[in-house]
Amino acid sequence: MKYKQLIQQMTLEEKASLMSGKDFWQTQDIQRLGIPSMFLADGPHGIRRQAVAADKLGLNAGVPATCYPTVATVANSWNTDLGERVGEYLGEEAVFQNVNVLLGPGINMKRNPLCGRNFEYFSEDPYLAGKMAAGYIRGIQSQGVSACVKHFAVNNQEERRMSIDTVLDERTLREIYLTAFEIAIKEGQTKALMSSYNKLNGTYANENTHLMQDILRGEWGYGGTVITDWGGSNDRLSGLLAGNELEMPTTAGETDKEIVEAVSSGQLDESVLDENVDRLLDLIFTTGEARRGSVANFNVERHHRVSQKVAEESIVLLKNEGAILPLKFGKKVAVIGDFAKDARYQGAGSSIVNPTILDHTLNCFEESGIISIGYEQGFERYGKKNRQLIQNACAIAGQADVVLLYMGLDEVTEADGVDRPTMAIPENQVDLLDALFEVNPNIVVILSCGSAVEMPWIGKVKGLLHGYLGGQAGARAILRVLSGDVNPSGKLAETYPLRYEDTPSYRYFPGKEVTAEYREGLYIGYRYYDTAGVDVLFPFGFGLSYTTFDYSDIVVQPDRVTFTITNSGRVAGMEIAQLYVGCESGEVFRPQKELKGFTKVFINAGESKRVTIPFDDKTFRYFNIITNKWEVEEGNYRIMIGASSADIRLEELLFVEGTGAPVPYDREKLPTYYSGKVNEVKDEEFEQLLGRSLPVSTWDRSKPLGYNDTIAQCQYARGWFARLTFHLISFAHWFLRKTGRRSTANLLMMSVYHMPFRGISRMTGGIVNMPMLDGLLMIANGRFFKGLRHFIKERNKMLKQRA
């Protein structure tokens, strides 16, 4: 152990105290031994250090910080160096704000387009997500502070995220949902990792020894700190045994006592506690050095310009009929849409950043050179229909050469804690588009949202520019692309299906009661669409440019592929070349192609560049459930170079020697997985893939409610008071949405409706302890007066102990 001598000086109580927060955002300190507290802050795309005391949770405004494009946006740049640069600037601001640990980036897979937190995640592909995340981590940690990769693992829905049991097979777990974490840990060398709320195959993630010990600590050799998501600790001792050092936020010493009692009784070996303390101390001291050298200030303007540069390189041009873009000199444009006046530039929930500067489209026209004849709001931001706004917009559109229509999703549609109900753009915006098309067909849509949407209206637009959520400088970045000052180079890091029903997890998302079944297995995103032959609107890796690129002269060697890219257009630009690999053996079921490398290259007009993409340890591997390790299947592999997953430009075969592992599957028992058409998998076949029977997926309404049952389950509680509470909460949610307070309604769903009972204790900072919670459960289970007496008794006892 690195801090053995220091740990030997600690009392058992002091060791235990370090394992839980001091308050909502700080860790415990031990002044007599010179151990300082750490400050942790949300920060996937900007520092969110709340401007309130650290003992308050809330979702209050943070100290002003640069709001960079969200990671879902930056993923479209496919530029790991750019991600590293964002990380460096995030790290610098973390040092300025005395933050030790930046809670990000989030690298969960975009399994389903309706996940409410997709705007905080990179991609549907683990290789791209892992490489981008590693860049962020290197950048953040170059400043002496720590990144905290999250949420480990298989956290792919927001609904019931604190209690849902994700059910999936081992191979899918390894290849799809853990690979990004593996890359982030091995290549990014992250010092901290956040465990997820959910269960994984029956065991809470932070207590899952297979996940935390066998894989994370054992196979990957991770020696850093694991931190719970806020309120994500279920059984403290089980979490500690699994190697989950830090529980956040504080429990006011309640779980510290559990640890002390467990060591004293012999239930927990003190050496296990010492190892956890040692790893946490390393994070405290190494990040403490950065805080002691805090910078007096940071260059706000320079950071803003960097945010703009990142946004420019991440914007995706999806449609450009008749070369309507870039806008020709002298063209008069009408600017329409509420998002033009008030930019939609970030997500909602725990990642909200208070920007230092905020660009809006209407304030940036003069420097862009684009001639605007005026602006109209066109639609109400939160979906209410308004014919007058549409009429006003049509009046100005008829006078313009080109209509710039700013559409998208509002702030409360994409939010931490809730999933989207639909993939559609709000109907009032589509009504506006329909009306504008009748007046002026030269429409360019500028889309602002952090996740995939359906576009049945796309035939009515000539241009489509997707800015995603471009941060505080995103509005100016979009104008620079529209004007032609910047040649767009972004490509989609996720597939856009024609309709939601086409998605492979359509029938299985979200898990509603006890379980979320990942019946589609390996086949998420393009892995499904390409293998099953399902048409999509825009494929993974797709993006247009104001120039054209030709590919030629492929040469495949055992350790690399080399080829030539030529800029055959008239302007300089950047091209993202993508390496896909597909095995032709057919013995082990696999997607038709999988991303195994990529590179982004700047090429002048008329210039050619020779490009090499190396192979690595992930190029040919698959996880074998019989040998329980990574293997290579012998056979011919298609080495494909594409401009997108659906636009393969070059292809060669390469024979690869295998590791000789036995075939782990019986083709006749898994026909759906061998075909890739996994949109409807029967129970028997999914059980065959799992190697076990399916767990019960519905609530047992005959049992009393317990710690891990949610407030939503009070609808069938034995106690009248609990049922009444459920109906009051449901009414409050309906009323808040009806009266336009959708953000508060979302917060109610996240922090109350889907909260397990134990969360009342874990998230209140010691205001309600577990014995008091026992009283609340008695009330919920029909023993009102006994439960009330117990609650009051335990509350008085707690207050007396603290007096």
CB 482 within 8 A of CB 467: no
Structural Rg of the chain based on CA atoms: 27
Name 309's Cβ contacts closer than 8 Å, sequence gap at least 6: none
- Longest distance between any two alpha carbons in the chain, whole Å: 83
Measured CA to CA in angstroms, residue 88 lies from 46, 139, 350 at distances of 12, 4, 21
Q: Catalytic pick from 23, 229, 410, 416?
A: 229
Amino acid identity, residue 690? L
The DSSP result for 342-368, as a single string, is S---S-BSTT---BSS---GGGSHHHH
Measured distance CA(664)–CA(716) in Å, rounded: 44
Measured distance CA(514)–CA(517) in Å, rounded: 10
Tokens of 254: 């309640």
Length of the chain: 803
Triad 188, 192, 195: Cα angle to 5°: 115
Amino acid identity, residue 231? G
Measured distance CA(514)–CA(572) in Å, rounded: 53
Measured distance CA(19)–CA(349) in Å, rounded: 26
- Outline where 622-708 has alpha helix (H): 671-675, 683-690
Measured distance CA(657)–CA(597) in Å, rounded: 20
Measured CA to CA in angstroms, residue 653 lies from 638, 641, 656 at distances of 5, 12, 10
CB 246 within 8 A of CB 279: no
Count CB atoms within 10 A of the CB of residue 449: 24
Measured CA to CA in angstroms, residue 573 lies from 184, 235, 566 at distances of 29, 54, 11
Strands 608-614 and 621-624 come out as unpaired
Our answer to whether residue 23 is catalytic in this structure is no
Tokens of 423: 């993939």
Measured distance CA(492)–CA(462) in Å, rounded: 19
247 - beta bridge partners?
20
Amino acid identity, residue 745? A
Going by C-alpha positions, the residue among 494, 541, 547, 562 that lies closest to residue 123 is 494
Measured distance CA(108)–CA(255) in Å, rounded: 29
Measured distance CA(645)–CA(279) in Å, rounded: 42
> Residue 66 CA to chain centroid, in angstroms?
20
Asked if the peptide bond before residue 153 counts as cis, ω within 30 degrees of 0, the response is yes
Beta strands in 130-187 (DSSP E): 146-152, 165-167
Measured distance CA(406)–CA(435) in Å, rounded: 15
Residue positions annotated with a catalytic role: 229
